[in-house]
Amino acid sequence: MNRGHIKMRAIRIIGRSIRDAFKSVFRNFSLSMASISSITITLLVVSVSMVLSANVNNFAVLVKKDVTIVAFIDNTATDEDILELEQKINKLENVESYEFQSKEDITKEMMETSDVFENIMNKWTLEENPIQHTFLIKVSNIEEIGKTAEEIKNMDYVVVVKYGEGMVEQLVKVFEVVEKISYITVISLILVTAFLISNTIKITIFSRKTEIGIMRLVGATNITIKIPFIIEGLILGLLGSIVPVAITTYGYLELFKHFNGQLFSPFIRLINPTPFVYYISGVLILIGVLVGMFGSWRAVKKHLKI
């Protein structure tokens, strides 16, 4: 048997399997709809979990980026002292970036924001001004922020160090717990989807035992019997993912538009819909198709013993 003949035979088998799979979906319409409905409902829950998980993780990243160590410098420090302090801060391993703000710049900014501040500041000379020079420091690893803050605090001419101590550590712990819960939820739902599809396909297979027996009698190979069921699972998974994809895409776009990209406050920013909704849609379709194929394959392999 030459390669060309083998190739044509494989194409015929696949073509026939696709045709049989489509026929099976419509012939067993009630069972197919039950399977599609199960996939749709489950993928909707998966979609909501993924959207929430992604936005919580995004919020966590933004919070980590926004957390700043503020180091207040003694007013007796000279320019040389401040330069030396800056060099020490720059050498710290966990420091990602820093910005120096002089008392003059801070005073000017405060005076521009309020007439009350301006009146108060005008009563003081530069030497009398109680405002201190500050360093605003961003860290690479927020989990090490306490250690970094302590290192800065122990440096010469650093009077006070603030970074929201206590609250930051609690936020990090909360984010870690929420992230783990969201991952577990998504994985659990995918497994439930696989189980539901497997059971649905198992019922379909049971109702078609006579048909499969005839296929065996006429010499159909195991692969010839298996392929239509696997393709049927693919079709069911694909059809079951259409509604979740549509609802996710439209729903998230409307949510983003309604809240203007912010949830409850400007501090909680939603992920930009593009390309986020396309990633989510792709994942939902992939889950539906792969789980549909896997569920069908598992049901055929386990329950028909072929």
Identify whether 3 is part of a domain.
Answer: no
What three-state secondary structure class fits 160? strand
Reference 215, options 204, 207, 206, 226; nearest CA is: 226
Q: What is the pTM of this model?
A: 0.71
Identify whether 240 is part of a domain.
Answer: yes
Q: How many domains does the chain have?
A: 2
Q: How far is CA 108 from CA 90, 124, 160, 304, in A?
A: 26, 13, 22, 80
Distance CA 146, CA 258 (A): 38
Distance CA 132, CA 100 (A): 11
Structure letter (DSSP) for residue 124: S
Is there a single domain that holds both residue 177 and residue 159? no
| Residues in the chain, pLDDT under 70 | 1-7, 9-10, 13, 121, 125-128, 193-194, 197-198, 200-202, 204-213, 215-216, 219-220, 265-267, 302-306
Pick the last residue of a domain from 104, 129, 163. Answer: 163
Identify whether 2 is part of a domain.
Answer: no
| Owning domain of residue 152 | 68-163
| pLDDT tens-digit series, residues 85-130 | 999 999 999 999 999 998 888 888 877 777 777 777 677 766 667 7
> What is the 3-state secondary structure of 55-88?
HHHHHHHHHHHHCCEEEEECCCCCHHHHHHHHHH
pLDDT of residue 90: 92
pLDDT of residue 10: 66
CATH code of the domain covering residue 108: 3.30.70.3040
